Amino acid sequence: MSPTILSLHRSPVHQLSKGAAPSLRLLAGLGVEGDAHCGATVQHRSRTAVDPHQPNLRQVHLLHSELLRELESEGFAVGPGSMGENILTVGVDLLDLPTGTRLALGHQAVIEVTGLRNPCRQVQQIDPALLARLAYRDPSGNIVRLAGIMAIVLRSGEVFTGDAIEIEMPEAPHQPLAPV
């Protein structure tokens, strides 16, 4: 399947799950209009406690629907928007994209991948075992994070459920994703 936006979500308050929306307005340098994480500086509560002046590298959260299907097959009660994503995708391996990848969403908006989402303890509200499933150590001792990716908005635009996603890779050498 070609890369597509499966569903869109936002919440005006800081909470784990986000409500469905037929479209989202992405604002350059800020994020998702009407979402609690919209802003030029970091909006995540744990990060503002450390330094409220850091740039917001977590303006848009993307999650791949293939992960939700996997988790559902394992008995986790997850669905679109339940893990706090703004954009649920299908047909693109988000976790394999390098830092700096640009994604054209629909006809106007362009975002740039900044890194991995580090899953927080809030996912344990869904299921106490979910955090361990989304972040674990591989046999080499490296932490594997599966909770999606984060991006910044480069070009404003409205995106809709069903919009195509075009992928523009950065110049080599590629930098692997790291938590932001």
Tokens matching residue 67 = 């992960």
Q: Look up the pTM and report it.
A: 0.96
Per-residue pLDDT of the chain (180 residues; tens, 9 = 90+): 899 999 999 999 999 999 999 999 999 999 999 999 999 999 988 888 889 899 999 999 999 999 999 999 999 999 999 999 999 999 999 999 999 999 999 999 999 999 999 998 999 999 999 999 999 999 999 999 999 999 999 999 999 999 999 999 999 999 999 999
When the candidates are 2.60.40.420, 3.40.50.1370, 2.40.33.20, 2.40.30.10, the CATH number that belongs to 4-168 is 2.40.33.20
What pLDDT was estimated at residue 50? Answer: 86
Spatial distance between the Cα atoms of 37 and 150, rounded to a whole number of angstroms: 12
SS3 per-residue string spanning 27-93: ECCCEECCCCCCCCECCCHHHHHHCCCCECCCCEEEEEHHHHHHHHHCCCCCCCCCCCCCEEEECCC
- Residue 23: CB atoms within 10 A of its CB come to 12
Q: Which amino acid is at 163?
A: D
